[in-house]
Amino acid sequence: MAAALLMTGHRVRSRPGSPQALAQFTKALAKQTSEPALRQFDRLRRERSRSEYGSRTFGKAEVDEAIKTAEAILEACARQI
């Protein structure tokens, strides 16, 4: 199921503070685990946001690395459930 979420691009609900709450959760989870990818979450979130407004584009290597990081984040979160 995690791979399906990654591929379909699901997001946090559009409510005030939702993206920040998710960023805080990943920071807290990063402190509890040894998963370095969790420390990259907020950076990836900010870069994705910039790309939606046309101020940031990505090359294939950057996309491939982001996918690997996202998969590691999903796995780390799944281990906590």
Domain ranges in the chain are 43-81
Q: Identify whether the C-beta of residue 73 lies closer than 8 Å to the C-beta of residue 35.
A: yes
Share of the chain above pLDDT 90, in %: 7
6 has a pLDDT exceeding 60: no
Q: Identify whether the C-beta of residue 25 lies closer than 8 Å to the C-beta of residue 17.
A: no
pLDDT at site 13: 65
48 has a pLDDT exceeding 60: yes
Q: What is the pTM of this model?
A: 0.63
Q: Residue 47 burial (CB < 10 Å; 0-12/13-18/19+)?
A: middle
